[in-house]
Amino acid sequence: MTARPVRDVAFVDGVRTPFGKAGDTGVYAQTRADDLVVAVIRELLRRHPELPPDRIDEVAIAATTQTGDQGLTIGRLAALLAGLPKTVPGFAIDRMCAGALTAVTTVAGGIAFGAYDVAIAGGVEHMGHHPMGEGIDPNPRIVAEKLVDPSALVMGSTAENLHDRFPGLTKERCDAFAAASQAKVAKAYADGNIQPDLVPIGARDPARGWGLVIRDEPPRPGTTVEDLATLKTPFRPHGRVTAGNSAGLNDGATGCLLAAEDVAVELGLPIRMRLVGYGFAGVDPELMGIGPIPSTERALRTAGLTIADIGLFEVNEAFAVQVLAFLEHFGLADDDPRVNLYGGAIAFGHPLASSGVRLMTQLARQFAEHPEVRYGLTAMCVGIGMGASVIWENPAWEGE
């Protein structure tokens, strides 16, 4: 048998809905989760008429809570609802916060192997319809046999644990990081760097009727460190984790087109990023936030790179303390300008399984603006004690 060559995988394009606040007053309170995914898929097809829909070989959509309007094998269902040919298969995937990221690496592996030429990957989370943990029944052995600390099941408590483990990561540092994230998002909007990736969504408000959602709902421009210092610490009396230095509860969907690089060239599809490598790692669940450290080390090791080779970072801001732990481990400053250039989830929001592709679309846009940068990283912590990291190469790189 002749060995198969491994094909290069291209990130063609990525889009997302504006993110909303979860709850009865959020912009998507009366919008179905699967309709958010449908809008994303249709927008990818609209932007790329050069791609025949029947050339799409797979649709992988992640959701952390796979029930209700996020259930019924949402990748396949959304493909049908979006009008893709019935010959296009689809599936659902779950790795909690890293769902969309895992959807990307899963279909990318199929592309590299030759099983697919073109695929759609993304994620959705409607936390207003499906609060985190809805319907779960944790095995009592988890606590009874002390497999994990009980705090491992409460993400905010794991962030407090991270403060305990690393006392130098103070609340003041976290609040400063959070305020900077809000400021960077406001600047990115003012500079027009966010709007091109957004899919306008028609949504109904019970009081005002139908409207068009064209911006993220969660950002709070003008937030100051002084504002954040006054917030309560809901996970522990006199704690350090607040609503202001954490991502909120949010609704939203993301999606991207991936293709074998030679197929992208054949079809005339753009190549915005090239996949270099990825890594997943497990850590103590009660210290979930350190997950991106070993996953990034693994990704760097398998790619033959070091942290010094990475010129741009998109690290998901589930909690400020988690990002600061990552930065400190790798010797990066809290305000390193290469990190989260457009801000992060503390301002944008974090609709769990969808967020990985948001990181990728923002990195792709930054690559185009920074041809001096060759490699970038998208990374995130993951519930139940994991980390996920993907390394990308900039096709616009002008080096040798």
Helix 320-329 and helix 155-165, axial crossing angle in degrees, nearest 10:
40
**Quick check: is 174 catalytic?**
no
Residues 84, 120 contacting (CB under 8 angstroms):
no
The helix/strand/coil state of 238 is coil
What are the contacts of 3-8 at 24+ separation with CB within 8 A? 4/113, 4/114, 6/112, 6/113, 7/111, 7/112, 7/113, 7/114, 7/260, 7/261, 7/262, 8/112, 8/260, 8/261, 8/262, 8/274, 8/275
- Using CA atoms, how far residue 118 sits from 64, 77, 98, 276, 294, in Å, is 24, 18, 21, 18, 30
Give the list of residues 6+ apart from residue 187 with CB closer than 8 angstroms, or none: 342, 343
pLDDT tens-digit map of 209-239: 899 999 999 999 999 999 999 999 999 999 9
Mean pLDDT of the chain, nearest integer: 96
Residues 380, 359 contacting (CB under 8 angstroms):
yes
Nearest to 259 by CA among 267, 248, 250: 267
Strand segments, DSSP code E, in the chain are: 9-16, 20-21, 58-62, 90-93, 118-126, 201-205, 209-213, 250-260, 273-282, 310-315, 375-382, 386-393
**Quick check: is 126 catalytic?**
no
Residues 372, 398 contacting (CB under 8 angstroms):
yes
From 129, 163, 350, 370, active-site residue? 350
Residues 110, 119 contacting (CB under 8 angstroms):
yes
The stretch 137-143 carries a mean pLDDT of: 87
pLDDT tens-digit map of 355-389: 999 999 999 999 999 999 999 999 999 999 999 99
Give the list of residues 6+ apart from residue 137 with CB closer than 8 angstroms, or none: none
What region does 171 belong to: left with phi over 0, alpha with psi -120 to 50, or beta? alpha
Q: What is the reported pLDDT for 171?
A: 97
Angle at 100 between CA 94 and CA 103, to 5 degrees: 75
From 48, 97, 174, 370, active-site residue? 97
What proportion of the chain, given as a percentage, has pLDDT over 70? Answer: 100
Q: What is the reported pLDDT for 348?
A: 98
The stretch 51-69 carries a mean pLDDT of: 97
The stretch 306-331 carries a mean pLDDT of: 98
Start-to-end C-alpha separation, the chain: 37
Angle at 213 between CA 348 and CA 100, to 5 degrees: 50
How far, in Å, CA of 47 to CA of 253, rounded? Answer: 17
The stretch 114-137 carries a mean pLDDT of: 95
Q: What is the reported pLDDT for 3?
A: 75
How far, in Å, CA of 250 to CA of 254, rounded? Answer: 13
Residues 9, 108 contacting (CB under 8 angstroms):
yes
Output the six-digit token pair for 399. Answer: 């080096």
Residues 272, 11 contacting (CB under 8 angstroms):
yes
The stretch 275-304 carries a mean pLDDT of: 97
pLDDT tens-digit map of 69-102: 999 999 999 999 999 999 999 999 999 999 999 9
β-strand partners of 90: 59
Give the list of residues 6+ apart from residue 165 with CB closer than 8 angstroms, or none: 287
Residue 67 scores a pLDDT above 90 = yes
pLDDT tens-digit map of 154-187: 999 999 999 999 999 999 999 999 999 999 999 9
How far, in Å, CA of 243 to CA of 253, rounded? Answer: 22
Q: What is the reported pLDDT for 133?
A: 85
- Using CA atoms, how far residue 138 sits from 44, 96, 131, 387, in Å, is 38, 15, 16, 21
Q: Which residue has the tokens 């019935």?
A: 86
Q: What is the reported pLDDT for 1?
A: 65
Residues 257, 130 contacting (CB under 8 angstroms):
no
pLDDT tens-digit map of 33-43: 999 999 999 99
